[in-house]
């Protein structure tokens, strides 16, 4: 597979889960890959596993200077930037509104929105001039929570709805020079972390008991996909050849949740 030969991709949160699967898939497609990752250990693991094939930059997506440094390192190393993938994210572990102490709610909102929404916006800004040069593209990782309730608590759901807004607004603003699209995966067993502000900072989605079965139960396709199962749409959207006319689009890869919704999760149980 060499569909993306001569294509340079920068992926945030590429050290784990979906981001790490994207690194492997884009390399297989012939692309050059850079990663902005907050975990130094995960960045080091990328270097150990892929050597000079991957440029791993340690930094925080919530800091503009780190995004700018990641873009600069990518261009110094590979000569250009074709696709920026805003993928890093954190989770609220389904914490419902009544479960927040009122004085923690604002801190939880700020912590989660800083990564899931501001991080992507800062990265897009930092990448913009390089993307304009090559008529490149941006891809945002969204979630089923960008469309439906029940895939998180109100803070996570609101953050992913906000990212849908970013895709639409930026596709509008940045045309005709930069395409902007999204992929909205369903659940998967990853290390997705919680929030310091609501006490779930040390939790990992992979530790949720019965997650695979729950995903099978709620999806019409009755599947619990792995991160690598979600990568194909990113490859499509990054391809100037195959996705030339596609901007402002979001590919929902959630096993068909939109067909009937999440039927066995009831609202109102929180009260
Ligand atoms: P993950 O925790 O396995 O991977 C996320 C990576 O981002 C980690 O390596 C983490 O260190 C890094 N990261 C976190 N905060 C960062 C920051 N401030 N700066 C730089 N890097 C940071 O989780 P994942 O499930 O692979 O999540 C990737 C994306 O997929 C997220 O946007 C998440 O919301 C989305 N998503 C996940 C699921 C799921 O069920 N796991 C479902 C739909 C969407």
pTM of the model: 0.96
Pairing relation of β-strands 250-253 and 54-58?
unpaired
Distance CA 40, CA 47 (A): 11
Where are the chain's structural domains?
8-260
Catalytic positions, please? 156
Q: What is the distance of C-alpha 255 from the center of its chain? A: 18
CB 55 within 8 A of CB 77: yes
Q: Is 61 in the pocket of ligand 1 (CB under 6 A)?
A: yes
Q: What is the CATH number of domain 8-260?
A: 3.40.50.720
Ligand 1 atom index nearest CA of 145: 43
Ligand 1 atom index nearest CA of 160: 34
Distance CA 92, CA 108 (A): 8
pLDDT (0 to 100) of residue 260: 75
Q: Is 42 in the pocket of ligand 1 (CB under 6 A)?
A: yes
CB 247 within 8 A of CB 180: yes
pLDDT (0 to 100) of residue 3: 81
pLDDT (0 to 100) of residue 114: 98
Distance CA 230, CA 67 (A): 25
User: Tokens 């607004």 belong to which residue?
Assistant: 169
pLDDT (0 to 100) of residue 259: 85
The pair of structure tokens assigned to 212 is 């695979």
Residue nearest (by alpha carbon) to ligand 1 atom 31:
89
Q: Is 87 in the pocket of ligand 1 (CB under 6 A)?
A: yes
Burial class (CB in 10 A: 0-12, 13-18, 19+), 110: middle
| CA Rg value for the chain | 18
Across the chain, which has 271 residues, the per-10-residue mean pLDDT values are 88 98 98 98 98 97 98 98 98 96 94 98 98 98 96 97 98 98 98 95 93 93 96 98 97 91 60 67
Ligand 1 atom index nearest CA of 205: 41
Distance CA 253, CA 43 (A): 27
CB 42 within 8 A of CB 67: no
Residue nearest (by alpha carbon) to ligand 1 atom 38:
187
């Amino acid at each position: 597979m060499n569909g993306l030969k001569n294509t340079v991709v920068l992926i945030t949160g590429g050290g784990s889960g979906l981001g790490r699967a994207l690194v492997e898939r884009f390399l297989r497609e012939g692309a050059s890959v850079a990663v902005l990752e907050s975990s130094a250990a995960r960045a080091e693991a990328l270097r150990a596993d892929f050597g000079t094939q991957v440029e791993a930059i340690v930094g925080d997506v919530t800091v503009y200077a780190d995004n700018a440094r990641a873009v600069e390192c990518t261009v110094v190393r590979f000569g250009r930037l074709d696709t920026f993938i805003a993928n890093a994210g954190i989770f609220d572990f389904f914490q419902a509104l009544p479960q927040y102490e009122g004085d923690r709610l604002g801190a939880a909102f700020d912590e989660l929105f800083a990564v899931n929404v501001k991080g992507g916006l800062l990265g897009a800004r930092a990448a913009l001039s390089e993307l304009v040069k090559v008529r490149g593209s941006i891809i945002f990782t969204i979630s089923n929570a960008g469309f439906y309730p029940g895939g998180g608590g109100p803070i996570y759901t609101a953050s992913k709805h906000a990212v849908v807004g970013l895709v639409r607004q930026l596709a509008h603003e940045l045309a005709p020079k930069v395409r902007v699209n999204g992929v909205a995966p369903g659940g998967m067993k990853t290390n997705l972390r919680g929030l310091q502000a609501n006490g779930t900072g040390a939790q990992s989605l992979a530790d949720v008991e019965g997650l695979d079965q729950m995903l099978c139960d709620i999806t019409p396709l009755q599947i619990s996909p792995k991160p690598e199962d979600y990568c194909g749409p990113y490859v499509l959207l990054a391809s100037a050849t195959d996705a030339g006319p596609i901007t402002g689009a979001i590919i929902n890869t959630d096993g068909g949740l939109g067909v009937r919704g999440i039927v066995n999760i009831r609202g109102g149980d929180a009260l």
